[in-house]
Amino acid sequence: MSLSIRAVLFDFDGTLTLPGSIDFAGIKKAIRCPDDVPILEFIEGQPSVADQRQAWRVLKQFEEAAAQCSRPNEGAEELVRFLKRRHIRRGILTRNRRASVETALNNFAHVRLADFNVIITRDHVQRPKPDPEGVLLAARRLRVPAATLLMVGDYRYDIEAGQRAGAPTVFLESSLTTRLPSPPADFTVCTMSEISNIIDGLNSGRKKAYKDRK
C-alpha cells in the first residue's frame, strides 16, 4: 500500500473510549430488537410514530448513561495529540448522538471537542455506518480525498463504511471483539498506540507488514 494519510476518522464508542461502556445487549432487550438487527435500523422500522419515539427515548437514556461513565481508551489521547503535532486532520464518525460525544469527552484529561476538525453523528446522515455516506461527508468537510483518510474503528461497520468509501482502514481488536470484519481491514491492531507507527510508515513511503491478530 502506497499512500499518504492526511486525516484520521475515528469511530467513538469502543475506539476513542474504552469498550464496554454502552450496553448494546441491554438496549436491544429494552426495545425488543432482535440480536441480528442493528438498533438504529430497527427503530426506524417501527410500525408507528409512538413506538419509534419510545424506542428513541430508551436509546437516549442508555447513551446518556454510557457517556457519563465513558473513559478514554488506552493510547487514544496520545494518538490524537500525535496527529495534531503532525498536522494530520482529525474527525469522529459515530452512530451515536453529538451530545453523548460531548459528555464523554468531558471525561478525557488531554483531549477536547476542539481537537477534532469534524464530528459526524447519526443526525448528519440519512444512512449511518456501514453505509459510506458518513465517511464521504467527513472527507469533504476535512477537505481531503477519501483515499487519504484513515478510518479507525472497533466494529465491522466502521471497516465496511471505510472500504465502501475507498478509504484505508484500521480495525481495533479488543477483548470484546466477537467478529472480525470480512473482507479484513488494511491493518488490524490491538492498541491505539500502534496506529502512529502505521501512519508514519505510510507517510514515509515505507511498506510495513502488520500481521492480523486472530
- CATH number of the domain that residue 123 is part of: 3.40.50.1000
Q: Is residue 210 part of a domain?
A: no
Whether 187 has a pLDDT exceeding 50, the answer reads yes
Is 167 found in the same domain as 139? yes
Q: Is the pLDDT of residue 85 over 60?
A: yes
Same-domain check for residues 156 and 60: no
164: nearest Cα among 127, 121, 201: 127
Q: Are 57 and 157 found together in one domain?
A: no
Is position 212 within any domain?
no
Kindly state the cell numbers that stand for 123: 443526525
Peptide bond before residue 183 is cis, with ω within 30 degrees of 0: yes
Q: Which residues, 6 or more positions from 128, have their beta carbon under 8 angstroms from its beta carbon?
A: 40, 95, 122, 134
Is the pLDDT at 80 greater than 60? The verdict is yes
Same domain, 32 and 46: yes
- Mean pLDDT, the chain, as a whole number? 93
3-state secondary structure of 101: helix
Mean pLDDT of 140-160: 97
pLDDT tens per residue across span 89-137: 999 999 999 999 999 999 999 999 999 999 999 999 999 999 999 999 9
- Does residue 52 fall inside a structural domain? yes
155 and 58 together in one domain: no
> Do 76 and 167 belong to one domain?
yes
Q: What is the pLDDT of residue 204?
A: 87
Query: 11, 153 in Cβ contact below 8 A?
Result: yes
Range of the domain at 179: 7-19+71-203
Q: Is the pLDDT of residue 213 over 70?
A: no
Instruction: Give, in degrees to the nearest 5, the angle at Cα 194 between 189 and 200.
Output: 125
- Same domain, residue pair 76 and 106: yes
Answer yes or no: are the C-beta atoms of 26 and 66 closer than 8 Å: no
Give the per-residue pLDDT at 2. 55
Q: Are 114 and 30 in contact (CB under 8 A)?
A: no
Mark whether 65 and 143 lie in a shared domain: no
The per-residue pLDDT for 179 is 85
Q: Structurally, how many domains does the chain consist of?
A: 2
In this structure, are residues 126 and 146 in contact, taking their beta carbons and an 8 Å threshold? no
- Domain annotation covers residue 188: yes
Judge whether 105 and 58 are in contact, CB under 8 Å. Answer: no
- Domain assignment of residue 1, yes or no: no
